[in-house]
Chains A and B, each alone.
Chain A
Amino acid sequence: GDSVTQTEGQVALSEEDFLTIHCNYSASGYPALFWYVQYPGEGPQFLFRASRDKEKGSSRGFEATYDKGTTSFHLRKASVQESDSAVYYCALGERQGGRALIFGTGTTVSVSP
């Protein structure tokens, strides 16, 4: 079945550091790819989506580019702030069938001042 792999389980950074979270997917079709962010005590929030090869999604300084060749959708931010501390999820959505999202295992990002 379809799946999403996030390489990093936890990332510890200082403010103004560069953030990269690796996301690779496996899907039989041509899925949409998402990033969601979850702050403590809250549900996940949609960050952005990309639905075709080479499309770049971005929001709040975060960005990721859909790469069908390498089946990747890596999240990047040039300069993190303490407020970016959260759990980040990469997710996959199938084009048809009305199925729910398939989430990666999540990456906990901790940013110290």
Chain B
Amino acid sequence: ETAVFQTPNYHVTQVGNEVSFNCKQTLGHDTMYWYKQDSKKLLKIMFSYNNKQLIVNETVPRRFSPQSSDKAHLNLRIKSVEPEDSAVYLCASSKAGTSYAEQFFGPGTRLTVL
């Protein structure tokens, strides 16, 4: 049963364009995350939000920015994409703002930058 929804599934764009990905969770969780999964399947945290407050902001380029309207939504904007941004972007949520909690992942958005 899907409880973390991501749109779009795929996106192809050109260098320099702006893109935005959406994520919604229906689990009532307090914390949401964005991960980047590269072509070698490596998973790296990008951002996490707890009650609309940024609690982890790894050293990602400034062109990436998370956007949250409420605790059920966490979008990701990339201001000017670069070729190295090609990856799968995974949204996740968890019940508590601690990494002891189980995280639930969405299916991901695959970005291809030409």
Contacts and interface: CB of A to CB of B under 8 A. Distances in A.
| Pairing of A with B | yes
Interface residues of A, number: 27
A101 B103 CA distance: 9
Interface residues of B, number: 28
Chain A: interface secondary structure? loop
Given A43-B4, A43-B107, A98-B56, A87 B102 contact: no
B48 A98 contact: yes
Say whether chain B's binding surface is mostly helix, strand, loop, or mixed.
Answer: strand
A43 B106 contact: yes
Contacts of A43: 4, 90, 92, 105-108
B43 A106 contact: yes
Contacts of A41: 107
Nearest to B99: A93
Interface of B: 4, 31, 33, 35, 40-45, 48, 50, 55-56, 90, 92, 97-108
Interface of A: 32, 34, 38, 41-46, 49, 51, 87, 89, 93-103, 105-106, 108
